[in-house]
Amino acid sequence: MAVRQLPIEKITKDGRSWYFYVRIKVNGKTKSYMSKSFKTKTEAIKAEREFLVKYHSKEINVTSMTFKQLFDEFYEYKKDKVKLTTLRSYRRNVKQLSEFYNLKIKDITLDHYIAWRKRIGNLDLKDKTKNGYYKLLKTILNYGTKWHDFNFTSIYNKMEKFNNPNNPPEEMKFYTWEEFKQFVSVIDDIKWKALFEVLFFCGLRRGELRGLTWDNIDFFNKELSVIKNVAQESDTGKYIITTPKTRTSTRTLPVPERVINDLHELYLKEKKQYGFNLKWFVFGDKEPIREDTLRYYRNRYCDLSGVKRIRIHDFRHSCASVLINNGASIMIVAKYLGHAKIDETLNTYSHLFKNKMDEIVKTMNNLE
């Protein structure tokens, strides 16, 4: 048993760096246990003592543990290891695992899994959504195997992702440059003109746009820094501020002349407000712009301009389309959009890159 300190790169944002590490016996086997992080060494020592007291008094009893108890333990374990948005998805997705809640972990069988899979399979949902539930179930079972030596081999071997071959691939919607010009032509408010320009030309995700503050914009160098993400807490109505989706999502982008000019015009207007400072949200004020407000104005300007309605996220697809169709390489597109891997870019926009592949064939055919 020992109290240790995390390496600098793993210290949490709120300064928790101490944890305890012990080896205990569970069902006759020795297992390593690493606690969550604490702010001080004293807190870690106290938590270690409490843990060991519970262990020796046999309060840790996995033989009667239910699936819900395992999830609760898993959730606590993950609190200082994943983003708040991931924790939120755990809370949301676990609701679709409710038939497992009261089952003792040791009693879960393949029949339980098959019944659950049949129910989820019959839901009128996209495979992507169903696979979110599937992934969480598998993650919880893996946690139970790692920390409590539960054996789910008979279930693991039969588990596979949802993949309905009868569902046609969803058509990607986006605006061409001509469509976007038509869309933005009816906007007479500089705030909304600048907002949709940032979405179209910079390819920001919705949460990245909402998290943009004035100190993230460098007017001198004509750059925009993506360092925050605003996510809606659907179960509370509140919002949370986190880091962007992945490490590569934190990025600094060059901003086109027309966009930086409109942002500067908006800045001069906004700075006249009482209490204004550079920490204010670019498209909000002291608070980020609401999601329903974004949707309202998107629909309003779509209808006024006569162009098709697309999602807020589809402006990001529009940005990718413009880049690809104007000769940007896959590496540049991936970096600009903040994708973690080039594979993600290629898989998402492979149909757009097909035209570039055709150009390669033409080039080869024209060789003497």
Query: What is the tens place of the pLDDT at every residue in 254-291?
Result: 999 999 999 999 999 999 999 999 999 999 999 999 99
Average pLDDT estimate for 154-172: 81
Q: Which region among 149-158, 185-194, 199-208, 359-368 has the lowest average model confidence (pLDDT)?
A: 359-368
Question: Which domains, and CATH codes, for the chain?
Answer: 1-60 (no CATH), 61-170 (1.10.150.130), 177-364 (1.10.443.10)
Query: What is the tens place of the pLDDT at every residue in 219-246?
Result: 999 999 999 999 876 555 688 898 888 8
Q: 0.75 exceeded by the pTM?
A: no
pLDDT at 157: 87
pLDDT at 212: 97
Query: What confidence tier does 316 reach under pLDDT thresholds 50, 70, 90?
Result: very high
- pLDDT of residue 46 exceeding 90, the answer is no
Q: Residue 342, exposed/middle/buried by CB under 10 A (0-12, 13-18, 19+)? A: middle
Q: Which of 241, 191, 231, 172 is nearest to 207 (CA)?
A: 231
Query: What confidence tier does 29 reach under pLDDT thresholds 50, 70, 90?
Result: low
b/e per residue 124-157 (b: at least 16 CB within 10 A): eeeeeebbbbbebbbebbebbeebbebebeebee
Q: To the nearest whole number, what is the mean pLDDT of the chain?
A: 87
DSSP three-state, residue 225: strand
DSSP three-state, residue 226: strand
